[in-house]
Amino acid sequence: MRMSPAARRAALCALLLCPALGADALADPIIDPIVRVREGGASIPIGGVPFFYDFGAFPGDPDGGGGDCFTGTDAGTGLALVSCSFQNLSRRTIRAIDLLFAIPPDPGPLEFAIGDPDGLFGRRSISSAGAGYAGGRGIAPATCEGDSCFGGEFTIELIGFPTGTGITGTFAVPEPGVLGLFLAGGILAAYRRRR
């Protein structure tokens, strides 16, 4: 049976380190931040791209109870969740999402994960500096007739970040050269992580 890195750390702590540190050491959960993008949602209208959105300080409610975002607990991990839904009304396919993280000092060791369960984007990368999605089919614009618009709906889920992490996002239709830069940045981040 393979154990995730987080499970290995927890097991090591339980067997070797935590008894020496006392019971209080077990009270702090191991945090492994996750970012997911998925289809569905329709709340915050994106009228033009690039579009900037401030998710605020995790795990706060970015829209202050306005109904476009919600906070809670992720069912799969049990960690704090911030989820915001958007609708692409820009008449252009969104082919890039860039999220920037401002993580508070000394959060401890973190392992980042990124998800795209609906396969919207071809490339995905994440590090302590931010997360990015690019290429693929992206998020097509909604089809509108009069005041009614259908489609173009997607949700960004932020899970398990250290309390107080500032997160901002930019949704864009990058030029081909920008996609190349994004890919180069992802390769560089992967190289640094492996070293």
Please tell me the predicted confidence (pLDDT) of residue 160. 96
CA angle in degrees (0–180, nearest 5) for 157-158-161: 165
Q: Half-sphere exposure of 165 toward its Cβ, with a 13 Å CA cutoff?
A: 27
Q: Is 101 helix (H, G, I), strand (E, B) or coil?
A: strand
Span 134-185, pLDDT tens digits:
999 999 999 988 888 889 999 999 999 999 999 999 999 975 554 455 555 5
- Parallel, antiparallel, or unpaired for β 34-39 and 113-115? parallel
Q: Are 95 and 173 in contact (CB under 8 A)?
A: yes
Please tell me the predicted confidence (pLDDT) of residue 174. 77
Q: Are 32 and 113 in contact (CB under 8 A)?
A: yes
| Phi, psi (degrees; rounded to nearest 5) at 144 | -115, 140
- With tokens 């829209």, the residue in question is 63
Please tell me the predicted confidence (pLDDT) of residue 41. 85
Please tell me the predicted confidence (pLDDT) of residue 188. 54
Please tell me the predicted confidence (pLDDT) of residue 33. 96
Please tell me the predicted confidence (pLDDT) of residue 24. 36
Share of the chain above pLDDT 70, in %: 73
Helix/strand number for the chain, H first, E second: 3, 13
Domain ranges of the chain: 1-30, 31-194
Question: Mean pLDDT of successive 10-residue segments in the chain (195 residues)?
Answer: 47 39 40 92 90 96 89 94 95 96 91 96 95 96 88 96 96 68 54 53
Please tell me the predicted confidence (pLDDT) of residue 8. 46
Q: Half-sphere exposure of 178 toward its Cβ, with a 13 Å CA cutoff?
A: 12
